[in-house]
Structure 1
Amino acid sequence: MRENYRAQCRWAANDFLNAYRVGDSVHVDAYNDNEEKANASLPVAEARAFARGILALADEVDGGEARSEARPRVGDRLRVTKDNPRSCPVVVGDIITVVETDYGHDGEDCVRFVWPGSDYRWFIPVSAVQRVGADTEPASVAEPLKVGSRVRVVRAEDPGVTRSFVGRVGTLTEIDSHDPRMPYLVRFGDGEHGADDGAWWCGAVEPVNESPADVTDVATVDAERAARLELLEAAKRLAPGGNVDDWMRIAAYLEGN
């Protein structure tokens, strides 16, 4: 005897869904005005994931299933626990906000999020994130990255590859929303691309708020050095000869040491 499960439309008595199992598939037929209009044959795993999704939408739980509250919902903040899951541009420790749930995507429970520099809604498996709970320090809400901002390089290339640019501060000059691996072009000086004083495409950056005291005024340093050298030359003209050690101490002082 075939078991049938019917879901009745609340608005039309002759509209309903009918589900039943045949072999290793679950069939779902859609009826409109008592006529079959569409049908789908689902693998058991897909049917199970779909059923869990229905339960979550209805805010209910089934006997052996985890409570729907344990599954991420839209608006939840999650911490990433794996590097680049499903090629997402995130690594361990990154915080994301759920903008959409997609349970049963390709046979896997996923949620979707938007990462700075792109409007694309990335898929990330629930197995690669954990909820940011009340016992976790709330993360500060960072302003969106903008071209022209001062940033610090967090990751220069793919995870596991170390570059000399990591930790350096530069100016964000371009954001490539089509490259999830290295979307940020950071410039450190006027040099060529790849040079220490040039620019480099980076995988992750963080904004830096530099106060005037944090920035060295090169012009001021050069002016002070020039003044000390002038004093040294004047001292040599006024007092020729003398002990070499004394001259070295004077030179060190005038150099600012």
Structure 2
Amino acid sequence: MTEYTAQCRISSYDRIRARRDEGSVELAGYFGDYAGEAFILPDAARTFARGILALADEIDGGEAEPADTRPKVGDRLRVTKVRADATLVRVGQIITVHATDYDNEDGADYIRAFLGDKDDYAYFISLDHVEPVTEEPVPSLPAIGARFRVTKDGLNNASVKRGDRLTVSSLHADYFGTTAEDGFTWYFTPKHIGDGLEPFFGTPEFLADWERDLLGNAEPTPSLFARYVDEAKALLEGTVFRGDDVIRLAQELADRG
């Protein structure tokens, strides 16, 4: 038989018990071994229970609303059903919430997500077909030619010190190689970016003239390489590119003569 007991905060011997007694709710107040009982009908019991809740709310303001644990915009989710909700997704695919569509009349909750880099429509996927991704996203490897400044002495057991400048020279499965200004090669992982390595784009005092011109930090100085930079920009027009992409392509053009 289900019963509920409330313990007196002053005396450990005193308590109140509530349980069903056929068609009534039995309330019993225990004062030591003595019990006083009352049998009340269901409607009266509900009114009594609501009154107790109201009194408790007057004391502490009531219970806090339960937190909404549903995914929010920006959360990463893993798909658990192939072609979920008639979308072209696979089991294990990681998607990012673009928008939410909750509290629908049919009781279903959906998230919306772009499924491809070129999608302009965010697809609906039910929360029944996704699960939270708890692990952190794997940092991506930097591009060949990217430059970093060391911010921690002896980073990753390499003979480097704060202020050293490194250039990414090779890429591997989950780490990358860098070449220091003294010609030595040192290896790091993406986790070191932001924690020992900071992106380095150069400052005017040690940039070459053509680099300074490219970054707009000085008046343009005509040079042969500047022509290759302009040509590289023209070839890359209409694509998504970064400054180091322009420099690498310009260098390739210069090598070809």
Same fold (TM over 0.5): no
User: Greater relative contact order (Cα 8 A, min sep 6): structure 1 or 2?
Assistant: 1
What is the TM-score normalised by the length of structure 1?
Answer: 0.28
Tell which structure's C-alpha radius of gyration is larger.
Answer: 2
What is the TM-score normalised by the length of structure 2?
Answer: 0.28
